[in-house]
């Protein structure tokens, strides 16, 4: 992405493609702080941000607040080379340092104005000086050997490639003569990319999509005949307000790094656009070779996922050394004792460790209408988020505290805009899921650098 400053163009290779100079604020009590400017509220998801000319405020524009996971929160910083550090992590710099970008046809070399994010990726200027940016700003993604766009049809443009279950690396090129806003999704509304392109700009990206039977929720079609099993094989869709696909190709990806997810309906790949789980929007934040395999399913508890062959047992069988596992449960553990809940989660932690995989525990997202102290304290008095936090400490595994993060966020928004149908107080809609997936992404940056290196 680029920003104009004194008639020069600078590359901001920050996470999620958002063009932002950011400042950080931490709450003194250790909880995420919300930074409010002029009293309005908004959350930054970080996915697919748009170019903001330097000289004006970027990020949370003119009075927005952002509640971000961890003991810190972001607000947009005005131009002037300000830099900030989130959650004690690496600073995001504006105006200094960073990788250089080679000149394109007819253009002169220029220096990147910001420190490179997502592993120090760089971008190259293409013919006429247009940027050809790749995944997270990388320029080394090869063009498709054969453009398969002719196999796609319909509105939205749908590409049904078929194939067996597995993991597929997909390369797409976006852009063209007109500006565009493109959302690339796979399978059941699984968000793989959210990108803006300026007129005359072309960007190339790659991502890995996990394809399974069933396409959406792994178990629910067996329980509910009205739930679709999806379309067999790899499916990719170009959506957004003004999608600009130029090319697409795919190939089977041999032995990708898997990020397995276990959870409930607030995490799952929902089949209706009225609802969306945060795990459904998480893939957009990751570079190849990470493939997100979301085995969350509606109505599941810590006990039922262990007992259902298509849920945790499938993850246990499939995970390998070096893989990652996220578990968010608690919404449906309404009557379980504290000891039983801890035992169920401990089983999953130990299974992951035995396989050489890396476990990340996640506390359940907050529900509308509760105090923070009341969130997910069940009928037996078990404080489920606290049990998860304590287990993370005793087992030395990271804990992403979505309960606190999303509760703080709820205090700054009109919740009906982000939750299903404007009436559901538990399940997010796509807009809300996009925000929560951004919270997860930001927590990974702060707490799990080994996985954060693969963030876009």
Span 320-330, pLDDT tens digits: 999 999 999 99
Q: Which domains does the chain have, with CATH numbers?
A: 1-127 (no CATH), 141-254 (2.60.120), 256-456 (3.40.50.1110)
Determine the 3-state secondary structure of 349 from DSSP: helix
**Which is nearest to 250 in space by CA: 197, 187, 294?**
187
Q: What is the pLDDT at residue 17?
A: 35
CA 425 from chain center: how many Å? 22
Cα–Cα distance for residue pair 121/139, rounded to 1 Å: 8
- Site of tokens 């690496």: 90
254-312 pLDDT, tens per residue? 889 999 999 999 999 998 899 999 999 999 999 999 999 999 999 999 999 999 999 99
Beta bridge partners of 100: 111
The burial of 105, by beta-carbon neighbours within 10 Å (0-12 exposed, 13-18 middle, 19 or more buried), is given as exposed
**Which is nearest to 358 in space by CA: 439, 453, 432?**
453
DSSP 325-344: EEEE--TT-SS--HHHHHHH
Top-confidence residue, 48 or 441: 441
Q: What is the pLDDT at residue 63?
A: 33
How does residue 69 score in pLDDT terms, banded at 50, 70 and 90? Answer: very low
Q: Dihedrals φ, ψ of 432, to 5°?
A: -70, -40
Is 80 exceeded by the pLDDT of residue 118? no
**pLDDT mean over 15-35:** 35
- Site of tokens 């398969």: 148
219-239 pLDDT, tens per residue? 666 767 777 677 888 999 999
Q: What is the pLDDT at residue 266?
A: 97
Lowest mean per-residue pLDDT among 169-183, 211-225, 235-249, 425-439: 211-225
**pLDDT mean over 423-427:** 97
Q: What is the pLDDT at residue 223?
A: 66
DSSP 151-180: GEETTTEEEEEE--SEEEEEEEEEE-SS-E
């Amino acid at each position: 992405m680029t920003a104009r400053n004194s008639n020069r163009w600078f590359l901001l290779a920050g996470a999620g493609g958002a063009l932002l100079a950011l400042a950080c604020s931490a709450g003194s009590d250790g909880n995420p702080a919300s930074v409010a400017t002029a009293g309005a509220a908004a959350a930054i998801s970080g996915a697919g941000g748009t170019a903001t000319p330097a000289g004006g405020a970027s990020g949370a524009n003119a009075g927005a607040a952002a509640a971000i996971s961890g003991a810190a929160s972001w607000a947009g910083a005005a131009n002037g080379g300000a830099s900030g550090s989130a959650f004690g992590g690496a600073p995001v710099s504006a105006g200094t340092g960073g990788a250089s970008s080679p000149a394109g046809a007819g253009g002169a070399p220029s220096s990147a104005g910001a420190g490179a994010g997502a592993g120090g990726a760089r971008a190259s200027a293409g013919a006429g000086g247009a940027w050809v940016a790749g995944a997270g700003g990388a320029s080394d993604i090869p063009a498709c050997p054969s453009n398969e766009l002719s196999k796609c049809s319909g509105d939205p443009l749908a590409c049904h490639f078929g194939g067996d279950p597995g993991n597929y690396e997909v390369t797409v090129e976006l852009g063209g003569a007109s500006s565009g806003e493109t959302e690339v999704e796979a399978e059941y509304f699984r968000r793989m990319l959210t990108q803006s392109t300026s007129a005359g700009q072309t960007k190339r990206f790659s991502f890995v999509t996990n394809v399974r039977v069933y396409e959406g929720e792994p178990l629910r079609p067996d329980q509910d005949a009205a739930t679709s099993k999806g379309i067999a094989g790899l499916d990719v869709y170009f959506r957004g307000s003004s999608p600009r696909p130029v090319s697409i190709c795919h190939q089977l990806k041999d032995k990708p790094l898997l990020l397995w997810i276990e959870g409930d309906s607030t995490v799952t790949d929902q089949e209706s656009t009225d609802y969306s789980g945060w795990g459904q929007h998480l893939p957009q934040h990751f570079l190849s070779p990470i493939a997100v395999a979301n085995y969350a399913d509606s109505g599941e508890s810590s006990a039922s996922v262990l007992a259902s062959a298509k849920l945790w047992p499938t993850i246990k069988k499939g995970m390998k050394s070096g893989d990652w596992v996220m578990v968010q449960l608690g919404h449906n553990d309404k009557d379980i004792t504290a000891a039983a809940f801890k035992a169920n989660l401990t089983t999953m932690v130990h299974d992951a460790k035995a396989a050489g995989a890396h476990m990340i525990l996640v506390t359940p997202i907050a529900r509308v209408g509760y105090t923070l102290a009341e969130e997910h304290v069940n009928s037996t008095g078990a404080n489920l988020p606290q049990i998860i936090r304590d287990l993370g400490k005793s087992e030395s595994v990271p804990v992403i505290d979505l309960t606190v993060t999303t509760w703080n966020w709820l205090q700054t928004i009109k919740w009906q805009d982000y939750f299903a149908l404007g009436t559901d107080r538990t399940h997010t809609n796509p807009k809300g899921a996009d925000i929560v997936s951004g919270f997860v992404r930001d927590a990974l940056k702060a707490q799990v650098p080994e996985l954060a290196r693969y963030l876009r």
